[in-house]
Amino acid sequence: MKCLKLLTMKLPRRQTIRAVLFDLDDTLWPIVPVILRAEALMHDWLSQHAPTVTQRYSIAALRERRSELMAQHPHLAIDLRALRHAGLTEAFLACDADLSKVDAAIALFSDARNQVTPYEDVAICLPRLAERFTLGSLTNGGADLEAIGLAHHFSVSIAAHQLGRAKPDPTVFHAACTALGLPPEQVAYVGDDLRLDVEGAQNAGLLGIWLKRDDAPAAADYAHIQPDASLRNLHELESWLCMNDMEH
């Protein structure tokens, strides 16, 4: 493809890039509407199969309790499915409801959570990127790429809960690089979060690319973070990587 000039480009600071790792939620698809829909579907299901739970706990109340559990048990922040399961189990116990239905409710939520709508550039750009680079994914979330239908693009797919740590911990980035069989300096990480994705990747020795799909300014707390590139979509990522190849 033809390389385009990007005003947001910083000159590459390391070796040739051989692999690209992606964050998933809010990088390859918007996640908030998906979670809201999944929570609503699960709550509706519970109203039919465990009505005493929904009579006592609204969606907001369940969400608040999960936040409290996460504060009390930080390890649950690494496995959001386990966190949701723990919160719902607690609610069932408080209502003396049938605990055998918790797993079914969580399964329903998980299925709805994977019914995402990728951004328009994903179907176009991922196959082209996969022709030139080894692709991988590294997420703190619980997306199932097989269920979503994108797993075939990625040679490596790692979720934080598999490692017992989460971004921005350098350990998870290093684990992904090890799985790729490459040193960190030959890997670029692409994500929407300046602290978790960009700064986390850079602190681990990778290139940190900020995929900024909207025009919202960076939060003041993150003003010190300087991405290796700030891009608006995967088309711009292709162009940036093309220019990086030309530099080397």
DSSP string, 16-39: ---EEEE--BTTTB--HHHHHHHH
Last residue of a domain, one of 75, 94, 113: 113
Does pLDDT of 155 surpass 90? Answer: yes
d(CA 1, CA 239): 8
Strands annotated E in 120-227? 134-139, 156-159, 187-191, 207-211
Do 234 and 191 fall into the same domain?
Answer: yes
Last residue of a domain, one of 113, 145, 169: 113
Do 164 and 105 fall into the same domain?
Answer: no
Do 80 and 133 fall into the same domain?
Answer: no
Do 167 and 149 fall into the same domain?
Answer: yes
Prediction pTM value: 0.90
State whether residue 187 is helix, strand or coil.
strand
pLDDT digits over 1-14, tens only? 445 444 444 444 55
Q: What is the CATH number of the domain that holds 228?
A: 3.40.50.1000
Do 63 and 89 fall into the same domain?
Answer: yes
**Exposed/middle/buried for 137, CB within 10 Å: 0-12, 13-18, 19+?**
buried
Q: Which residues contact 95 (CB under 8 A, 6 or more apart)?
A: 50, 52, 53, 55, 56, 57
Q: Which one-letter amino acid corresponds to residue 104?
A: A
Do 132 and 218 fall into the same domain?
Answer: yes
pLDDT digits over 37-89, tens only? 999 999 999 999 999 999 999 999 999 999 999 999 988 989 999 999 999 99
Q: Which residues contact 91 (CB under 8 A, 6 or more apart)?
A: 53, 56, 57, 62, 65, 97
Do 26 and 37 fall into the same domain?
Answer: no
Do 105 and 144 fall into the same domain?
Answer: no
Q: Is residue 106 part of a domain?
A: yes
Last residue of a domain, one of 56, 84, 113: 113
Q: What is the CATH number of the domain that holds 68?
A: 1.20.120.1600
State whether residue 159 is helix, strand or coil.
strand
Phi, psi for residue 235 in degrees, rounded to 5:
-65, -45
d(CA 166, CA 183): 20
pLDDT digits over 110-152, tens only? 999 999 999 999 999 999 999 999 999 999 999 999 999 999 9
Q: Say what the pLDDT of residue 110 is.
A: 97
Do 50 and 161 fall into the same domain?
Answer: no
Domain range enclosing 57: 32-113
Q: Is residue 168 part of a domain?
A: yes
CA 101 to chain centroid = 28
Do 204 and 192 fall into the same domain?
Answer: yes
Do 138 and 232 fall into the same domain?
Answer: yes
